[in-house]
Amino acid sequence: MNIRACNSNDMDQLVDIWLEGSKRAHDFIDSEYWEANKNEMKINYIPNSETYLSEANQQITGFVSMVDDYLAALFVDPGQQSKGYGKALLDYIKQKRDNIQLKVYEQNAQAVRFYLKNDFKIVEEALDEQTQAKEYVMAWTK
């Protein structure tokens, strides 16, 4: 496995991973919400963040996007999950930061467990204004 900074040639694959992952992990939110945000991810969101991707056998397996100390996205291709790519990406970012904060939907139990297992703490409960879904604010400190 290799982790590297993303470039413009990776964008379509990253957006596809984000869209499929979002629909599967957040099935409690209408899939139209994710479809409506696809272009925003490609044009503004990913290009304006510090984004790294994991590769295996020259295939992108996942990516992580940071905005300052905020973990804005961590997605692994649904067909590649549970193979250590998410943890590797998270560990890579942890080496570069002293503090990380993120938001995760309360109903995304798999992600909540993943972050708790990787030393994040729930520091606040909130409501996502766009989806009206409950979410946790989680934090990690080196």
**pLDDT value of residue 137:** 97
- Asked if residues 23 and 34 have their Cβ atoms less than 8 Å apart, the reply is yes
CATH number of the domain encompassing residue 67: 3.40.630.30
Residue 90 backbone dihedrals phi, psi, to 5 degrees: -65, -45
- Is residue 135 very low, low, confident or very high in pLDDT (cuts 50, 70, 90)? very high
The more confident residue out of 46 and 104 is 104
Number of domains in the chain: 1
pTM of the predicted protein model:
0.90
Residue 2 bridge partners (DSSP)? 55
Q: What is the pLDDT of residues 18-45, one digit of tens each?
A: 999 888 888 888 888 898 888 888 888 8
Among residues 81, 92, 124, the alpha carbon closest in space to that of 106 is found at 124
pLDDT surpassing 90 at residue 14: yes
Residue-number span of the structural domain to which 53 is assigned = 2-141
Rounded CA-CA distance 130/47 in Å is 22
Which residue, chain included where needed, has tokens 């490609």?
42
Statement: residue 73 has pLDDT above 90? yes
In this prediction, residue 50 has a pLDDT band, given cuts at 50, 70 and 90, of very high
**pLDDT tens digits, one per residue of 88-126:** 999 999 999 999 999 999 999 999 999 999 999 999 999
Mean pLDDT is highest, among 6-10, 19-23, 47-51, 123-127, for 123-127
Arithmetic mean of pLDDT, 58-87:
94
Question: Does residue 18 contact residue 76 with C-beta atoms inside 8 Å?
Answer: no
Q: Please give the Cα distance from 17 to 23 (Å, whole number).
A: 10
CB 122 within 8 A of CB 102: no
